[in-house]
Amino acid sequence: MSENREPIFKAPWPAMVLVGAILGAFAWQVFVLGEGAYSRFGFSPAGFEAGGWPGLLTALFIHGGVVHAAMNAAGALAFGSPVARLFGLRLWGGLIFFLFYLACGGLANLAFAKLHPGEEILLVGASGAVFGLIGAATRILAGGGRLAPIFDRRVLFMSAIWIGLNLMIAVLGFAPGLEGAVAWEAHIAGFLAGLLLEGPAAWLAAGGAPQPQETPPEAEG
């Protein structure tokens, strides 16, 4: 007699594809591109001002080491899963999910460039985009699976914790388990982008249609 088996991975497919993209790009970086990946696909404020705008997105797929890549992949899986479910698991919802991820990462890097104009600092990694997923997941968690308002007290409380952790990194100058400086500015910018863009992204994922409203019960006379 056959038994119903639970799937090994219950994560939604857009989150799994994102994890595969992060780890696959890192493998390509290590075994094919080598050290040249940093200068070729990394992002710097000076390079951006010189016309290197593609680095806003390409830097999201280049990492400083296996721990860096693994941490971002784990974050993308953990926080990307509720966001992917909110947007829907059809092709259109998946497309919105990936565009949302890239938009958060690109805006995080752009904010870093604006805060460090003309500097040669090289920025790599998906952390800004992952923090966009964290910001989006914060509203979902606060709403019990639904999209909570940005100014909901639970959203504000959890946001203060995430932003506070990054400000602590700014004071310490490092994060445990990671080598080199941490772009905490990009983390905060990505987080805020996720908070703000999730509503419009969810609207687009739903086809631009307003969410159905529950009909209030009729009073009995």
pLDDT digits (tens, 9 = 90+) for 50-81: 999 999 999 999 999 999 999 999 999 999 99
Pair 135, 150: CB distance under 8 Å: no
Percent of the chain whose pLDDT exceeds 90 = 81
pLDDT tops 90 at residue 4: no
pLDDT tops 70 at residue 218: no
- Burial letters for 139-151: b for 16+ Cβ neighbours within 10 Å, e otherwise? bbbbeeeebbebe
pLDDT tops 90 at residue 181: no
pLDDT tops 70 at residue 219: no
- Measured distance between the N- and C-terminal CA atoms of the chain, rounded to whole angstroms: 56
Token pair listed for 209: 């249609």
The mean pLDDT of the chain is 89
What does residue 43 show for φ and ψ, rounded to 5 degrees? -125, 135
Residues 6+ apart with CB under 8 A from 210: none
d(CA 148, CA 130): 19
pLDDT tops 70 at residue 217: no
d(CA 162, CA 138): 10
Triad 214, 85, 131: Cα angle to 5°: 115
**pLDDT band (50, 70, 90) for residue 221:** very low
pLDDT at 216: 42
Q: What is the mean pLDDT of residues 107-124?
A: 95
pTM confidence score: 0.87
Instruction: Give the amino acid at 50.
Output: A
Q: What is the DSSP letter of 158?
A: H
Complete DSSP assignment for 34-45: TTHHHHHH-B-H
**pLDDT band (50, 70, 90) for residue 182:** confident
